[in-house]
Amino acid sequence: MNKRNLSLSIVVAALLIIGLAATGVHAQDDVKGKMKSDKTGTNPVNFQRESRLYNEHTWLNTDGDDDQNVTTFEFRTPFANGKWQFRMRARYKLLTTDLIDESGFGDMDVRFITVPYFKGTNAIAYGLEAFLDTASENSLGAGSTSLGPQIFYAKFFKGGFGPYKGGGMFAPGLQYQFSVHEAAGRNEIDQINIDLNYLMMGTSKKYWFFTDPQIIFDNENNIEYAIIDIEFGWMMAMWYEDLKGHSVYVRPSFGVGGGRPTDGSIELGYKIVGW
């Protein structure tokens, strides 16, 4: 059995086992009520209607002074009586290297996710993400259409430390991404992504700290690397009372490992949650 079939079999088996074991166990009404009052957009199992706009400037890991700028619009909405969530992301990219200077639309992706198990302070979610070959220029996209089944566990906790004593969450996740169609001359996609999401809310629940170390195993190119994100966010109602559900954040990141595609980045974002 090759690496792709083995990886896919492991992820699919995990999804089936957890889905069957967790059937019928959903969040309690009081937990759901508390989640609906949370407008930070930091809880991955809190399904509300959201719109996000963010811009990320990235320094690429190349021999030259190469960089790219990506502006992303993201939309999320619950459906099926709130048991599922749909997410869509569309991008506009500007790529500048020693050989390329192009801009245009990048690849889009969509995701469907559900939470079959939510009891007490523990939750399990799984779903399917589709990465679409929609880039307007070859250099602005992966040149392939791929799928990414995913699963993650969320553990919520109280307390914290310093100015972040409003509770938080640890949510490790696993995704296997594989291409189902490649354009001529483009490589297959075959990789495993591990996310280690960690959130701490501010004591007033109006600001937060979030980090997401991502570990990527690229089986197609036989390389491994990590991208570490660190996010600080604030509810805009801290300054403008009428802007409930609106928030802003800043998210720097840096790459680790010889095979990393980026050295670092800085992202600025704006969110509207629960509209």
- When comparing pLDDT for 252 and 40, which is higher? 252
Question: What is the tens place of the pLDDT at every residue in 182-212?
Answer: 998 898 999 999 999 999 999 999 999 999 9
pTM, to two decimals: 0.88
Q: Decide if pLDDT at 4 tops 80.
A: no
Close Cβ partners of 164 (under 8 Å, ≥ 6 residues apart): 200, 201, 202, 203, 208, 209
The structure tokens 């409930």 sit at 244
Say which CATH number the domain at 82 has: 2.40.160.40
pLDDT recorded at residue 9: 58
In the predicted model, is pLDDT for residue 166 greater than 90? yes
Average pLDDT value over all residues in the chain: 90
The pLDDT tens digits for 109-133 are 999 999 999 999 999 999 999 999 9
Residue range of the domain that includes 140? 3-273
Provide the b/e sequence for 79-114 (b: ≥16 CB within 10 Å). Answer: eeeeeebbbebbbbbbbebeeeebbeebbbbebebb
Residue 238 in this model has a pLDDT that exceeds 80: yes
Q: What is the mean pLDDT of residues 136-163?
A: 94
Residue 44 has what pLDDT? 86
Q: Is the pLDDT of residue 102 over 70?
A: yes
Q: Write down the pLDDT at residue 37.
A: 73
pLDDT at 262 over 90: yes
Domain tally for the chain? 1
Q: What's the distance, Cα to Cα, between the start and end of the chain in Å? A: 48
Assess whether pLDDT exceeds 80 at residue 107: yes
Convert the pLDDT of each residue in 13-66 to its tens digit: 555 555 555 455 555 544 555 566 788 888 888 999 999 999 999 999 998 889
